[in-house]
């Protein structure tokens, strides 16, 4: 183990830790929105290493193709679909293609997100709408379109929604994203109860700042706020994409059988320390 508690010497294309048995998700088909970069790609990589079939959804074809190449070493079967999560008809198309290619859907990870720092008085109605549309309505669209397929999953369908601790605390300068994620959190909890009788488990994963992501670049690095933000972390450092991916794998696996409607905060203690600095 190294100082961060990471097992060493287990790696794939991007030095991902393999902390679970490598057949943990065998036979499952997982849709990952925003799966071509950042946290979404990290989730895809770990899920692929654990035996899942992958469906990556993103807007840009070239980024999806790059992701497919990055993920080739996992040996996963991969379907890439260019679609905007804001468009319900396109989302239905993704679900249909997934069922045609893999026979069903077992795991849905709603990870696609939009965010930018903007004081509220400067935020335009369209800027507000863009973020609510991607984060909240995009999550609605995929849950809505995938329900029937998730219901048929042999393992019990899993929905993992990527939310934020700021859904509860609010986020000055990102009121749009905090509001959207508060909606996501409430949607998760509502559907956990509605869909429990169908064996579908829904949970939120709440990441803190994660290295090498667009979020950290635009929200902290571009504003020279990264060092200050690091001081707000109880563990003193930002996370890696596979910190989030391992948490998602846990929830997608049989270890998550009795977990639904929960928030799993994976943020290095940021939410707690932030109140003390």
**Given the rule CB under 6 A, which residues bind ligand COA?**
113-116, 118, 124, 126-127, 130-131, 134, 214-215, 218
CB 195 within 8 A of CB 147: yes
Between 131 and 187, CB nearer to ligand COA = 131
Q: How far apart are the first and last CA of the chain?
A: 30
Between 2 and 126, CB nearer to ligand COA = 126
Between 118 and 186, CB nearer to ligand COA = 118
**DSSP conformational letter for 239:** B
Smallest gap from residue 13 Cβ to ligand COA (A): 22
CA pair distance 247, 177, nearest whole angstrom? 22
Edge-to-edge strands, sheet with 78-82: 78-82, 53-58, 29-33, 107-110, 158-162, 201-207, 263-266
CA pair distance 179, 131, nearest whole angstrom? 9
Smallest gap from residue 175 Cβ to ligand COA (A): 12
Between 134 and 244, CB nearer to ligand COA = 134
Between 134 and 150, CB nearer to ligand COA = 134
Smallest gap from residue 196 Cβ to ligand COA (A): 30
DSSP H or E stretch at residue 31: strand 29-33
Residue nearest to ligand COA (CB): 114
What backbone torsions phi and psi does residue 110 show, to the nearest 5 degrees? -90, 95
Smallest gap from residue 114 Cβ to ligand COA (A): 3
Smallest gap from residue 48 Cβ to ligand COA (A): 22
């Amino acid at each position: 183990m190294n100082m961060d508690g990471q097992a060493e010497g287990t790696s794939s294309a991007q030095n991902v830790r393999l902390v679970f048995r490598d057949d943990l998700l065998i036979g499952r088909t997982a849709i990952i929105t925003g799966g071509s970069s950042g946290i979404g790609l990290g989730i895809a990589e770990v899920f692929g290493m654990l035996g899942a079939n992958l469906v990556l959804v993103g807007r840009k074809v070239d980024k999806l193709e790059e992701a497919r190449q990055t993920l080739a070493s996992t040996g996963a079967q991969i379907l890439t679909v260019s679609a905007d999560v804001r468009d319900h008809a396109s989302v239905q198309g993704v679900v249909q293609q997934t069922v045609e290619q893999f026979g069903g859907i077992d795991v849905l990870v709603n990870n696609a997100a939009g965010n930018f720092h903007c004081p509220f008085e400067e935020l335009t109605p369209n800027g507000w709408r863009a973020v609510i549309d991607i984060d909240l309505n995009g999550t609605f669209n995929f849950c809505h379109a995938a329900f029937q397929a998730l219901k048929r999953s042999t393992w019990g369908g899993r929905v993992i929604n990527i939310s934020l601790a700021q859904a509860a605390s609010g986020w000055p300068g990102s009121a749009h994203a905090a509001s959207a994620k508060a909606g996501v959190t409430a949607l998760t909890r509502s559907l956990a109860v509605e869909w429990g009788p169908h064996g579908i488990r829904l949970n939120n994963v709440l990441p803190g700042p994660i290295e090498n992501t667009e979020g950290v670049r635009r929200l902290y690095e571009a504003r020279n706020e990264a060092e200050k933000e690091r001081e707000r972390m109880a563990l003193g450092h930002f996370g890696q994409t596979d910190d989030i991916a391992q948490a998602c794998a846990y929830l997608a696996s049989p270890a998550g059988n009795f977990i639904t409607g929960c928030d799993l905060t994976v943020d290095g203690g940021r939410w707690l320390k932030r109140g003390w600095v």
